[in-house]
Amino acid sequence: MEDLTSLAIIWAAVFVAHFAAAKTRLTPVLWFLAMGSILVNLGILPEEPGIFIKDFAEIGIIVIMFALGFEENSSNFVRSIKRSWGIALFGAIAPFMITYYTAMYFWGNHNGALMCALAMTATAVSLTMVTLRSEGLQGSKVATGIMTSAVLDDIASLALVAVMVPIASGEAMISAVGIGFILLKTVGFFLLITAMALWLFPIESGPLSKIPLLRSFNLQRLITLQGGEHSTLAVLLIALLVALLGHEFGFHPAVGAYMAGLILKEEFFAFNHEVEGHESSAYEETRRAIDNVAFSWIGPVFFIVLGTRLILDADILMSIVDETIVLTVGLLVGQVLSAGLAARYTGKFLWAESWMIGFGMLGRAELAFVVMDIAYAQNNIISEEMFYTLMCTAFCLNIAVPLTIRWWKPHYERKVAEAKLEEE
């Protein structure tokens, strides 16, 4: 019963965190982490969670990453890559290098520095989009540019995590053969995911539809079984199976779950073409159900459990003040400059749009915390000081996102309006 009591406390904390997030207009992730830290330091939650809570939290991050992939429109994503590749590339290189050399300067641990750099590379897609939505900018070119760049960063970061974790943890030899084998598995996994997207979902166009014994087997039929009544269960099953497949290839299960969400399309939910809008309705209902699971009652458990790792130790907090200040300022300046300049010169955005993109790329949330969990809790690659520094830095950067976007919005809207008038 102890684990059930802990779950009841965690769910109560989720309510408080959502309320606090709504009042402060900050991402709920920050409040989930804060609630976990507060509860463990007050002795309300145990420092070492039970097996049930650990497994429940693992399911939570799998569902979260699936939901983030599921939210993406893969067609828009592909179309906007040409304009956003530079933002993703330079907007990732800068924070990676800044974090790596900062970590090397303070701690001198190569493997730990690599994992710190990976954690601080990926942008928080959900945090930025929630902020843009609250400012009425969710349909802007800026939002599309940020979203595409952030997704590219996330995919690259996930692939790097798959390559670097075995090496940094000592499970794989640092050799040309060892690295080559890991890269081969990584490429093989993404090719398999691509094959699933092309061949296992389409009913009429896929090559497998021409094979008598296989033509009736189709994942779309699974999603639309009994009029789509079990579509939520179907997509969660697909997410879990692909997550397990990713794990077999050496990925964290969250990688597979994210890719499973990315390859799902709205047309896969078309079970009755004669009823106009039925396809969209089934898709939207399923997405709402997935979002509810991921961001309301299962997913938050992961972040609260991760927050319980933040045992408030005055000595540790005082010892990382310099590291946190240097890393936070370095990432804030480096991220905004690299993403903003790339948006201007490779994406041809207006200057006002470019700086808005730079501000929008500051956030660090889901994937950063996944990497921290893998590196600190699961594999002990980074030290306690590194973990606390990353957590404090992520907290500061996430606070900066809504503040900078709100501050820059009037200038941005004025410049965009002027540009439209000049075009007319």
In terms of residues, how long is the chain?
Answer: 424
Give the 3-state secondary structure of residue 42: coil
Compute the average pLDDT of residues 386-406: 87
DSSP classification of residue 72: S
The CATH architecture of the domain made up of 60-423 is Up-down Bundle (1.20)
Instruction: Identify the pLDDT of residue 355.
Output: 95
Q: How confident is the model at residue 330 (pLDDT cuts 50, 70, 90)?
A: very high
Rounded to whole angstroms, the maximal C-alpha distance in the chain is 68
Q: Is residue 324 scored above 70 in pLDDT?
A: yes
Name which residue leads in pLDDT, 87 or 165: 87
pLDDT confidence bin for 275, thresholds 50/70/90: very low
Average pLDDT, the chain: 82
Domains of the chain, by residue range, sit at 60-423
Residue 311: the pLDDT is: 79
**pLDDT value of residue 201:** 61
Comparing CA positions, the residue from 389, 322, 339, 399 lying closest to residue 122 is 339
pLDDT at position 7 over 70? yes
The string of DSSP codes covering 267-336 is GGG-S-TTSTTHHHHHHHHHHHHHHHIIIIISHHHHHHHHHTT----HHHHHHTHHHHHHHHHHHHHHHH
Q: Is the separation of the CB atoms in 162 and 255 below 8 Å?
A: yes
Which of these, 171, 79, 169, 90, lies nearest to 123 by C-alpha position? 90
Distance between CA atoms of residues 218 and 225, nearest Å: 11
* Residue 176 confidence (pLDDT): 62
Q: Could you give the percent of the chain with pLDDT greater than 90?
A: 27
> Is pLDDT above 80 for 79?
no
Q: Best-predicted range by mean pLDDT among 204-208, 223-227, 413-417?
A: 413-417
Is-contact 25 65, C-beta < 8 A?
A: no
